[in-house]
Amino acid sequence: MSFGRRGRIERALTGRADARDVGKLIADLRDDPRMRAEYDRGALAMRTLERAAVAEVEIDLIERWLEADGTLDGAPEVAAPTRWLWIGVAALAAGAAVLALRPPTPVGEPNDGLQPRGMHGHPQAGWLGVSVLCDGGHGSHALDESSTCPIDASIGFAIRIDARHHGGEHFVLFGVDEHGELQYYLPTPDASAPTLVDRDRWIPLGRAVRLSVNHTPGRVRVFAGLLAHPPTLDALEQAAATLARDRGDDENPWIERLGPGHRLVADCAFGRCLGAELEFRVDAATPVEPPI
């Protein structure tokens, strides 16, 4: 059993689990009989220790579970942004970039810079957050509609998945520039997309993209999704072509804008998939400072 799984069991059985642990723990327990057996045995030990039919830690865990799925209000809020968190180096063949990630704002908060367009008022608003970081060699900043990144800089990505999401796990991330060109981020022809199972924390994606390689100055829309099936490059290209024609005045999430018949979002009905999007602008090269 992996260290992460064992850790989740131990936190649950010692009363230290929070809502962030619950989604993954439950999914693991459903899927893994060996893990379930270990968990059950530990719970029996707690019941015996407490001389109770059901241990206090079990009662607490179900309360966290009800918080995590939205049945009970008052789930512990994610800490509001207090500082930038430096996360290290992400490398791609094109080069490396030092990325700084902004800790998340509370889930679903209106006017959140990370709030994807089309998700305001949506029941799953804020469940998938995407952050694009621009590193121009003189510090990093998160990009949004009002900010720019110079063409000679690199961008990196981080995403965050709400613990209430129990649907598709297959991640996709791509861009469409103002000329309708698809920008592969994940998957690419050379790299498959990861399956993401962590919840309620920002996950830095181990990629940096040097904009000068494939991007041109202008607006870039970035689309992130958690899908029911692994995204294929063909389906991705079709989706990008459709979204390139999208004028952006439809307030629905991009997954819904594609429509149920699109291959990329197959089996995404009933909130099984999540989508997020944002845009930023690529500027011309940073002016070179004249030597002093």
Partner 1 sequence: MRDVYRAHVTEIANLLRHGFSFESAGRAHRFIGYASAFELQDALHETFRRAFEPAARLAFDGIRPYAPYLRTIARNVVLRTFRAGREMFPIADDQGAPGDDAVVLADTQPSAEHDTMRKQMEGIVRAFLDGLAAADRELLMLRFVEGISQRDVADRLGLGRQQVRGREAKLRQALIDHLREHDAGTTLGATWIAAPLATLIAEALR
- The tokens describing 22, both together, are 């619950």
Q: Is 110 helix (H, G, I), strand (E, B) or coil?
A: coil
Report how far apart, in Å, the C-alpha atoms of 154 and of each of 163, 179, 202, 282 are. Answer: 30, 20, 19, 11
- To partner 1, the closest distance from the beta carbon of 46 in angstroms equals 7
Helix (H) or strand (E) holding 92: strand 85-92
Instruction: Closer to partner 1 by CB, 199 or 207: give it.
Output: 199
Q: Which is nearer to partner 1, 33 or 121 (CB)?
A: 33
- For the record, the structure tokens of 72 come out as 């009970």
What DSSP designation does 2 have? -
Binding flag, residue 289, partner 1 (CB under 8 A): no
- Segment interacting with partner 1, rule: CB under 8 A, options 71-79, 133-141, 142-150, 214-222: 71-79
- CB-CB contact of 53 with 47 (8 Å): yes
Cβ distance to partner 1 smaller for residue 29 or 130: 29
19 binds partner 1 (CB under 8 A): no
The stretch near partner 1 (CB under 8 A) out of 12-20, 192-200, 250-258, 278-286 is 12-20
48 binds partner 1 (CB under 8 A): yes
Q: How far is CA 3 from CA 9, 14, 31, in A?
A: 10, 16, 17
In the bound complex, what is the minimum distance in angstroms from residue 118's beta carbon to partner 1?
Answer: 25
Measured from the CB of residue 291, what is the shortest distance to partner 1 in angstroms?
58
Give the CA diameter of the chain. 77
For 130-142, b/e burial (b = at least 16 CB within 10 A) is bbbbbbbeeebbb
16 binds partner 1 (CB under 8 A): yes
The reply on whether position 44 binds partner 1 by CB under 8 A is: yes
Tell me the pairing of strands 148-150 and 274-283: parallel
Q: Which residue has the tokens 């439809």?
A: 250
Least distance (Å) between residue 124 CB and partner 1:
17
Q: How many residues bind partner 1 (CB under 8 A)?
A: 40
Among 1, 52, 79, 89, binds partner 1 (CB under 8 A): 52
Considering the rule CB under 8 A, would residue 13 count as an interface residue with partner 1? yes
33 binds partner 1 (CB under 8 A): yes
User: What distance in Å separates the CA atoms of residue 140 and residue 99, rounded to the nearest whole number?
Assistant: 6
Binding interface with partner 1 (CB under 8 A): 10, 13-16, 29, 33-34, 36-54, 57-59, 61-63, 65-66, 69, 71-74
